[in-house]
Amino acid sequence: MMQWELAERFVESLPKVSGACREFIRSSLEVIRSFSRRRQEFIRRRLRNSLEDYRGCRKAYR
């Protein structure tokens, strides 16, 4: 009888576990998108800074 009760409790908790998994996946995707945006911004900034450094060096050696 004890195993049956445990099985019933497990089955009853599945929707909660499923919901928690969906929430975890959704929040993980948001974090991944955030990292992607930050990476793109970092690359843009590095390119801009590199171009400014290059232009500054060209002017300094003229």
Helix, strand, coil: what percent of the chain each, to 5?
95, 0, 5
**Cα–Cα dist 17/33, whole Å:** 24
Residues 6+ apart with CB under 8 A from 11: none
Tens digit of each residue's pLDDT (9 = 90 or more) over 10-55: 889 988 988 999 999 999 999 999 998 898 899 888 888 887 776 7
Q: Is the pLDDT of residue 58 over 70?
A: no
**Residue at token pair 């002017």:** 59
What pLDDT score does 45 carry?
A: 87
